[in-house]
């Protein structure tokens, strides 16, 4: 019997506690279940070492709730592909360990809005007006115009207890516009050193509040400090390139501007949706 096996009864109690609704002080650290180290070994064993090393799509993975991921692993699905595996020997806690591991392979929502109380997510296709603005700014319309937007809310007494709100009219009506803390979208970024997914977090007024690529990307150490220098730029009236931070002229501002404006146009579609819903 291994030390891990000896710990399983305690871990099971943690799992039950985490799944039960409890009153929690806002300053408490959220309970997280799962051992990512053990989860990595299981994921590599069942889904392959290459899959375990890969950075996952944050946009794809963030749309899945933890219980959905756990159910997928218990069903023998690798979640990031159509690959399946035999679940013999994979139990309830093993599946949670795999969830804990895959969450380290993409950017999480709480990385950008750690104090949020509730959030909603929905995919939007940028409309003709947005396409025209993007074309005017950069000379052409991006190939991909459909993106998922996450919208976050801060509610008194629930700070930090991030809860997903489904597209249920009654639940959506409980969310007030003045409780909104911001938006998040994952969009393409193409720079001389990196081509892939960037997270663009914005305030309710569309100012950049967070901008980064996943830390496992080879270019992250060099690129993320440059991206962070753009925080505070943007806004409702931004129509063209962002300003290059001091000492960075001629480097990545065009690529960053494209990513930001694309994310903002996607978030603008949410605002139109919200106005129609709350009229």
Could you report the per-residue pLDDT of 25-77, keeping only the tens digit for each? 334 444 457 899 999 999 999 999 999 999 999 999 999 999 999 999 999 99
**Are residue 192 and residue 117 in the same domain, yes or no?**
yes
Provide, rounded to the nearest whole percent, the portion of the chain with pLDDT above 90. Answer: 74
Domain extent for 183: 110-278
Could you give the number of structural domains in the chain? 2
- Are 190 and 69 in a shared domain? no
27 within a domain of the structure (yes/no): no
Same domain, 120 and 248: yes
Calculate the CA 206 to chain-centre distance: 17
- The region of weakest confidence among 14-23, 54-63, 194-203 is 14-23
155 and 194 part of one domain: yes
B/e letters for 230-266, b = 16+ CB within 10 Å, e = fewer, are beebbeeebeeebebbeeeeeebbbbbbbbbbbbbbb
Is residue 139 one of the residues assigned to a domain? yes
**Per-residue pLDDT averaged across 172-178, rounded?**
92
Q: For the chain, give me the number of helices (H) and strands (E)?
A: 10, 6
9 pLDDT above the threshold of 80:
no
Q: Which residues on neighbouring strands pair with residue 125, listed in sequence order?
A: 146
The answer to whether the beta carbons of residues 103 and 41 sit under 8 Å apart is no
DSSP type of residue 76: T
User: Which of 106, 127, 158 finishes a domain?
Assistant: 106
Mark whether 138 and 205 lie in a shared domain.
yes
pLDDT at 232 over 80: yes
In this structure, are 80 and 115 located in the same domain? no
Residues 206-230: pLDDT tens digits?
A: 999 999 999 999 999 999 999 999 9
- Judge whether 257 lies within some domain: yes
Question: Given CA atoms 46, 49, 53, 56 in this order, what sign does their dihedral have?
Answer: negative
Residue 81 phi, psi (nearest 5): -155, 180
- CA-nearest of 204, 244, 205, 203 to 227 is 244
**Token digits for 165?**
């709100």
Question: pTM of this prediction?
Answer: 0.84
What proportion of the chain, given as a percentage, has pLDDT over 70?
86
Verify that 42 and 169 share a domain, yes or no. Answer: no
Tokens representing residue 24 in the block: 């929690």
Q: Are residues 67 and 119 in the same domain?
A: no
Same domain, 66 and 87: yes
Phi, psi torsion values for 199, nearest 5 degrees? -90, 130
Point out the domain boundary residue: 40, 74, 106.
106
Backbone angles phi, psi at 253, to 5 degrees: -65, -35
Characterize the bridge pairing of strands 163-164 and 118-125.
parallel
pLDDT exceeds 50 at position 126: yes
Q: What is the DSSP letter of 145?
A: -
């Amino acid at each position: 019997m291994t030390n891990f096996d000896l710990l399983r009864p305690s871990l099971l109690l943690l799992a039950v506690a985490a799944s039960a609704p409890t009153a929690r002080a806002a300053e408490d650290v959220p309970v997280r279940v799962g051992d990512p180290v053990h989860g990595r070994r299981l994921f590599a064993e069942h889904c392959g070492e290459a899959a375990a090393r890969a950075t996952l799509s944050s946009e794809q993975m963030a749309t899945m709730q933890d219980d959905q991921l756990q159910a997928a692993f218990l069903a023998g699905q690798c979640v990031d592909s159509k690959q399946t595996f035999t679940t013999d020997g994979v139990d309830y806690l093993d599946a949670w360990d795999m969830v804990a591991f895959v969450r380290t392979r993409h950017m999480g929502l709480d990385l950008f809005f750690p104090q949020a109380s509730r959030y909603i997510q929905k995919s939007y296709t940028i409309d003709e007006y947005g396409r025209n603005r993007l074309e005017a700014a950069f000379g052409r319309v991006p190939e991909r115009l459909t993106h998922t937007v996450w919208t976050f809310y801060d509610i008194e007494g629930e700070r930090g207890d991030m809860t997903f709100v489904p597209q249920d009219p009654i639940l959506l009506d409980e969310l007030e516009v003045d409780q909104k803390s911001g938006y998040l979208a994952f969009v393409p970024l193409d720079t001389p050193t990196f081509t892939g997914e960037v997270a663009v977090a914005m305030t309710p007024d569309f100012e950049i509040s967070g901008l980064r690529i996943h830390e496992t990307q080879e270019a992250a150490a060099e690129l993320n400090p440059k991206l962070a220098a753009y925080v505070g730029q943007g806004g409702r009236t931004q129509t063209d390139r962002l300003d290059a931070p001091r000492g960075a002229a001629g480097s990545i501002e065009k690529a960053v501007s494209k990513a930001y404006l694309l994310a903002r146009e996607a978030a603008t579609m949410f605002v139109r949706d919200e106005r129609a819903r709350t009229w």
